[in-house]
Each structure stands twice: as structure tokens, then as C-alpha cells.
Structure 1
Amino acid sequence: MTIFSELSKGMADAVEAASESVVQVRAARPVSGTVVGDGLILTAAHVLPTDDVTVVTAGGVRWGAVVAGRDPATDLALLRVPGLNLPALTVGTAARVGELLLAVGRPPHGVQA
């Protein structure tokens, strides 16, 4: 196995492991969010001009969400989704400058507004 095929397999494994913890956040426009705790989702603050937010899971289930907090300085927002029971995304080690990083998102393809 070459180093590139090992890297490719590792990335595919990481995406598969993370997929259940990544949701689509629907507000002004769709964006991804990450489950960080029990019913808590971290997402971008700039896409939440109002508090009318819906979260769509990998299985297509829609949940109403409440904006629990915003930090415009870091462009982060925390959503609370009562009853949402998805695993929080965990990271094994901290990334170092110069290391490869993999971003996982949930695009809006095939999902109607």
C-alpha cells in the first residue's frame, strides 16, 4: 500500500466516523454544524441573522434549534436542539501548524428549503 492510498483510506475512515456528528444548519442559507455536546451544535454565526433555525441530520430528520449564544468576534454560534441525541465529534490530538487538516461538512444537495 502506498502512502497516498493509506492517506486516502485514513481520510475516508475519518469522514465516515464524523458523518453522524455533522449536521446541516438552515437559516439565512445552509451551512454545516458540528455536534459538540448533548443537543449542542457549533456553527457559523454570520448565517444566523434571526433565531429561526432548523437543523437537518444525516438521515434527513429536521429539528428546531434555538440560538444559545453568539460570538461575532470568532464568527461562532452555539445552537441548542432539545431532544437531539447525536454523538459529539471528538478529535484525538491537537493539530500542529503544518499538519494536514480535513474539513467535513453537510452540503444542501437534494435538500429542499
Structure 2
Amino acid sequence: MSPTFWIAAFLVMVILGLALPMRLPLGPNYWDTDIYLDAAQRIQLGQIPNIDFFTSIGSLGFYLTAWIRAVFPQAQPALLANWAIVPISLPILVLIVRARPERVERLGHS
């Protein structure tokens, strides 16, 4: 099966994972997840990262978490925070997979 199929299948599983109500443990080692959930809540209240509250990393992940939380309000918190980077990483992965055969072909002709 093609890599594009697996990327599409993963995307479908991500959407189902966010849309279906699930209960997964959110234990003490998920403090990064808590940071993203807190930032998403603050953004939804109108606060701005690095102005109204301190962040040790860039704010793009926080905004993506807030956006996905608005789209999937009942999403499981651990999945929501950990998959917030999918809207950025998936297009990049698709570009890499689509460019790969072209690179292999060029290397074969060198």
C-alpha cells in the first residue's frame, strides 16, 4: 500500500480519536499536556501567550490546541494536546512522501 494511504488512514484515526468520547489516563507524567490545556483555555478566554501568561515555548502549538479544542470540544485531553501539531506535521509529511520518488529517480540517473 502507498504511503499516501497510510497518511490518510492516520488522519482518519486522529479525527475519530478526537471526535469519539474516550477516557484515557492523564497521569502525573503528562505535565506538558497540562501546559497545553491551560494555554488553550487561556486563549479561549482572550489571553495572549507571552503577553498575558508566560510560555517557555512558542505559541503556535497553543493556538492549534485551542483551535482543535473549539472544533472537538469533547476530545480526550491527552489526545487533544498531543495531536495538536498534526495540522502542521501532516502537510510536511505529505510533501516529503510525494517528493521522495522524484529524488530516488534523480539519484538513479546520476
Q: Please confirm whether the aligned pair reaches a TM-score higher than 0.5, indicating the same fold.
A: no
More strand by share: 1
TM-score of Structure 1 vs Structure 2, range by shorter chain: under 0.3
User: Which of structures 1 and 2 has the bigger CA Rg?
Assistant: 2
